[in-house]
Each structure stands twice: as C-alpha cells, then as structure tokens.
Amino acid sequence: MRGRFGGDGPRSVVRTFAWRSAIVFAIVAVGLHVLVSSAVTGHVRQAATFHAEFVAHSVLDPLLAERSQPDEPVHEAAGDPAFRAAIEAYAIDEHVVRILIWGMDGTVIASDDPSVLGASPPGYLDGVGVQDGALHADDGSLDAPATPGGRAVDDPVRSFIPLETGDDLVAEILQDPAMSIGAASSFSRLLDLTVVGGLALLWALLLPVARRASRRLDRQARTDDLTGLLNRGAVRSRLKDAVDHAGRAGAYVAVLFIDLDGFKAINEAGGHQAGDHVLRQVAARLRGQVRSVDAVGRFAGDEFVVIIDGVNDEVAAEQVAARTLETLREPIDGVGPHRLTASIGMSVGSTRSSADELLRDADAAMYEAKSDGGDHYRVFDDELRCLVARRQWIEREVLSAVDDDQLHLVFQPFVALQGERAGTVVAVEALLRWTHPEEGPIGPGEFIPIAETSGALHRLGPWIIDAACHQLATWQTELPAHAEPRIFVNLSPVELRNGLLDQLDDVLERTGADARGLGFEITETAILSEDDTSVVDTLAALRDRGCVIAVDDFGTGYSSLSRLRTMPIDLLKLDASFVGSLTSSRRELAISTAVAGLAQRLGVTVLAEGIETTDQLVAVRELGFDLAQGYHLARPAPPEEIVAYLSTAALPAGPPAPIGDRHLDPDGGVTPSWALRPRGEGRGSADAVGGLGVG
C-alpha cells in the first residue's frame, strides 16, 4: 500500500528503521574506532620515542665509550666491526628493525646493516623528532627496512636521538610498531572485532522485531479501527486483486455497495456510542454472510463494501445481496425503537472492468436503491447506465444554466384558512425552474436532487435569492401594501454556513427590497439535527432582520421537541405525506391533529402542504391549520399570474392573518406579533399589515 506510509507501505517503514539503526550504530562504532586508533597511534609514538632514547643513552653511548680510545675520534669507534656486531645483536634481541649512527658529515658511519654505510639522507637532520616515510637508496638514501626475520615494515616508527658521546653523532632507531606496542595493537584489533560482532548482534536482534512490527503496521494500515474490517484503501487494493484473479480464472467478481437506512436517526438519538455499536454489529453480520475467499470492508461512515470473488453469474451475487438485506433487517439490541435497513447497489464485472468502475457502478446502483425508498438492492444494468449518463449530463449542464439565463422562478401561494382572511393569498414559495435550450423544460424533481449531491447548489442558491429579492422589490414597488405577498425561499444547511447573511445584505442593498417581505424554509431534519450553533445563529440573525423562518416537511424527520421549542421558528409546514391520507387514515389524522395542537402551544403558525382535494382542505381547516398550500388551491405560476390572482381576490379589511409568534391580545384575538412591521411612507400603517405581508 502507498500513501499512508509512503514507499511500499509499513514494511518499507520497518526496513528503513532497521537500516537506519544499523547505520547509526556503524557510524558510532567507526567514530569510536577512529578515536581509539588515534589514541593507540599516539601511544605507539610515545612508547617508541621513549624506547629509542633508552637504546641511544643506555646501550649505544656505553658501547661507544667502551670501545673508544682516548686519542681516537668517537666516530671511528662507531665504525668498528665489533661495534656493529654489538648493535646488530641488540637489534635482534630488542626487536629493533634497524639502528644507524649518522656522523657529523651527514653519512651513515655505523649500522647493524653494512649495506647502508656511507648513505646520506635527503635533508638536514636537526636532532630529536619523528620523521615518517622510508628513505630510498636510488637517490642516495635508505631502502625500506626489514625486520630481523625478513618481514618488510611498511610504516616503521623512526626516531632520531643525539648521542651524548660527542662529535655530534645522531642515532636513528627504526622500530616495528606492532612489536613495540603489541598490547595496544591487540586492543585495536579487539575493538574492530567488537564493532563487527555488535553490528551482527544488533541486526539479529532487530530482524524479528522488525518483522513483527511490519506485520502489525500492515494490519493497522489495512484495517478499520472500529469494525476490524478492511478500510477504504484496502478495499480498493483487494478489489483490484479480485479482478485480476477473476480474469485468470475466467469467472466474475461482484461488488455490493451497502448504505444503512436509518443510521443517522440512531446516531442522533443514542449518540456516537450507539452508532459505533450498530456499526460493529453490522460488520459482524456482513462477515457471516460471505465465504472466506470474499472480503468485507467499511468504506466510509455507514457505508460498507462486500467483494464476492469468483462468482459464475449475476444470480449468485443477487442471492448474497438478498441474504444481506434479511440479516440487516433483524433488530439490533440497544438502539431502542429505531429500525435499521439497508440500500444495496450491486455491480458484476470481469477482466473488462476495472476496480474503480465496479465501485462507481455499485455506488450508483445503491443511490438508486436509496432514492426508491431503501431496504432493497439494485443491480447496475444497462437501464441504470443510461440513468447515470443522464445524471452526469445534468451535473455538467446545470452549472452553465446560471450563466446562460436558462433559469427562472415560479411561485406557489400560501392561502389563509382561518378568520376573515380565509381564502386570501398571504405568501408565495419561490420554486426554481430550468428550461434547457435543447432539452426544453427539465423537472425540478430531476435536477434539484442532482444539484444537491453534486455541489451545484453553491451556484443555484445565490441565484435564487437574488431573483427572489428582485421580484420582491418589484412587488413592493408596484402593489399596494395590503396586496404584496411574502416570498419564501428554500435554504440548505450548506447555505446557512457559507456567508448567507453577507450575501443577503448585498442583494437587499442592490435591489432595494425590504427584508421583512422575505421568509426562508429549511427542512426539519436539517434544522433540528444540526449541532453546529452557527446554523441557529444565522437563523436568529435572519429573524432579527424581519424574515420569517419556516420548517419544511415537518413530521418526516426525527426532531426533538425540546430543541424545537428553543429554535427561532415562526411556521411549521406539515409534510404532504400526512395530508394525503388524512381523510382515510386514523393514524395520519391523529398526527395532523397533534401537529396543529403543538403549533398552537408553541405559538407558531401551522401550514398543511399538498392539498389536492376539497375533502383535504376542509379537514385541515377543521383541525385548526392556519394556512394551506397545494395544487387544489393554486399551482406554481409565473409572477404575472400571481399578480393577476391577487388583483381579483377579495381582500377585506380585518385582523392580521394568524401566522407567526402568536399571543392572546386583551380581547382574546390572535395576533402574529412578528408580522407587525413598520412600513414606509404611503404603504399603510402597521395595524394594517397582514401576517405574511398582507393587510
């Protein structure tokens, strides 16, 4: 594996560590050897000089004095054959390589080697000292000396000692360092052996440790810490191996891409500890569904991948997918009433497929399974391939739709149900539409989900707010104060975190629109599951500007009522799924009744979405819903049709529409306090302002 550790993975790290340890030890050993060798060399020279002085003054001087006659010069005694025999015998006994006596004329007058008599050195001899290097006879100097046994000495220690027996005689004494300091040399050799042995011992000790560490690091690099399954990188590597093996064996490899349905609710209700418990249980169940030759990995979060190696056909892989769905439907202890299911996408390939293609196709199939409601598997086939190609085309084209003026807004009214304002339009929801120059109109149900998952909302969101504010400014200028509707815009949590307030202030300044004519909708799941306090702060700041905050699709999420009570919310929109069965299901009727009562107790307005029949309209009105929205009342329409509808609607004077933060006034009526905003000159008094901008 590469990337996490670099090189070839953890084994490379361990090998590098072992080699570096050995190199460091070797460097230290060499340094120690150099220091000891330097000390040994110094000891050699010091010992040689001391021994040379002893030979000169304790041997040569007495011998010369003994053989000299009173009337004979000392240098003549030095040249006497008997003297030469004496010093030669001494050299053999004391392991001195050579002894020479230099006369005052600079020539050798006595030596244990007769062949060098009369030779002269290459330079002036100044007396005491050590001079390195041999003298050569071809230029009138001396050859390299040899020991008495005949062994040549390449680097003798040479000492020049002035004799005390007059006539300026100088004794040159050459010694073999190995013979002079055998103990020191033995220590140096012992040190060399110790270094080599230490290196060998260190490597022998490090090798098994390195192997164990390599195996441990390899497991860590390939394993998910929480579940013990293969991690993302190991899944990709294992899948590549499986594809290669399938190609050689003439078989197929199947990939199951699994995403848990309902996991987010469990994680939010029970915390991360409950979520981790579920993931470990799921991992154990998945391992129990596959053969030993197959592989299971945790790809990310609550996503898992099963690699089925060597399948003969698609049917065998589908059987594994079906068994996996069944085992994941079984209850998990410790998660309360929450039900866990899975959406599974499956792809099957051979040598013509790459690992990345199989993962991509299985992921696309899983996405379709989840879009269809989850709790089933979907096989990536030719039909799905066309859908994926279509989705990729939309992802590309929707980004250019903003620049190419292909987008526009339509508006669907909110109609009041209660009081004297019943039947009047008090607000509209801005809805995005796209007309492609070649494809024509593309439905929002198709391109909006793709824009959300592909990240295109960062382009679409600002455009919608800008267009809505331009339309609001137009209506605030052209319509009477009691007729202008409030415009609601849908927001995503991403927009709430990414500079929404600055963007809104800029648009309002450019368009001249009044922020108190705006409302913003965010889904229940998004607003009530966000732990990020910046989202709540942004909603509160929007409210401070006079905007209305609505919770869309209420009842479909898993909100906490305690959090709902503290959120900056003005309007609850009951999801259309409850309204659709309102007249035929006691369960839906009970939920709708509870939502209406909850809104009254929280002091917020409640709206019923998806009104498509008269019976539904009558039912929600009798339940106490304040507003309604749906095709039975009005379909989404362009701005000019909304204006035409407003101009023909009856707008009698009366109390404000019952929307927003409500409180009982002294007379027992219901007044939306947030809606009582001051107006500019010529736009009516505050008392005439309706709950959503209609008075």
Q: What is the chain's mean pLDDT, rounded?
A: 76
The beta-strand segments (E) located in 502-597 are: 518-523, 548-554, 571-574
The pLDDT value given to residue 504: 95
The pLDDT value given to residue 303: 94
Among the residue ranges 68-77, 195-204, 374-383, 435-444, the one predicted with the least confidence is 68-77
Q: Specify if 142 maps to a domain.
A: no
Percent residues over pLDDT 90 in the chain: 28
Contacts with 176 (C-beta within 8 Å, 6 or more apart), sequence order: 95, 97, 147, 153, 156, 157
Task: Verify that 180 and 316 share a domain, yes or no.
Answer: no
Of the residues 173, 203, 222, the one at which a domain ends:
222
Q: In 3D, which of 113, 109, 116 has the Cα closest to residue 97? A: 113
The pLDDT value given to residue 565: 73
DSSP collapsed to 3 states, 141-185: CCCCCECCCCCECCCCEEEEEECCCCCCCEEEEEECHHHHCHHHH
528 confidence band (pLDDT: 50, 70, 90): low
Q: Specify if 85 maps to a domain.
A: yes
Tens-place pLDDT, residues 345-383: 999 986 567 889 999 999 999 989 998 889 999 999 889
116 confidence band (pLDDT: 50, 70, 90): confident
Of the residues 175, 195, 222, the one at which a domain ends:
222
The pLDDT value given to residue 127: 38
Count: domains in the chain: 3
Task: Verify that 359 and 211 share a domain, yes or no.
Answer: no
4 confidence band (pLDDT: 50, 70, 90): very low
Q: Specify if 21 maps to a domain.
A: yes
Task: Verify that 90 and 216 share a domain, yes or no.
Answer: yes
The pLDDT value given to residue 585: 74
Q: Specify if 388 maps to a domain.
A: no
* For residue 171, pLDDT beyond 90: no
Residue in the block written with tokens 């006539």: 167
Structural domain containing residue 431: 401-688
**DSSP H helices in 263-343:** 263-287, 314-329
77 confidence band (pLDDT: 50, 70, 90): low
Task: Verify that 40 and 172 share a domain, yes or no.
Answer: yes
Q: Specify if 174 maps to a domain.
A: yes
Q: Specify if 390 maps to a domain.
A: no
Higher-confidence position of 671 and 502 = 502
Tens-place pLDDT, residues 7-26: 455 556 556 666 666 676 66
The pLDDT value given to residue 85: 74
Residue range 519-548: mean pLDDT, rounded: 81
Task: Verify that 162 and 183 share a domain, yes or no.
Answer: yes
Task: Verify that 247 and 324 share a domain, yes or no.
Answer: yes
The pLDDT value given to residue 518: 95
Task: Verify that 240 and 302 share a domain, yes or no.
Answer: yes
Task: Verify that 314 and 435 share a domain, yes or no.
Answer: no
Tens-place pLDDT, residues 472-484: 999 999 988 777 8
* For residue 334, pLDDT beyond 80: no
* For residue 694, pLDDT beyond 50: no
Q: In 3D, which of 308, 320, 318 has the Cα closest to residue 246? A: 308
Task: Verify that 567 and 461 share a domain, yes or no.
Answer: yes
C-alpha 317/C-alpha 345 separation (Å) is: 11
How far out from the chain centre does Cα 628 lie? Answer: 47
* For residue 656, pLDDT beyond 80: no
Of the residues 173, 198, 222, the one at which a domain ends:
222
Q: Specify if 323 maps to a domain.
A: yes
The pLDDT value given to residue 178: 60
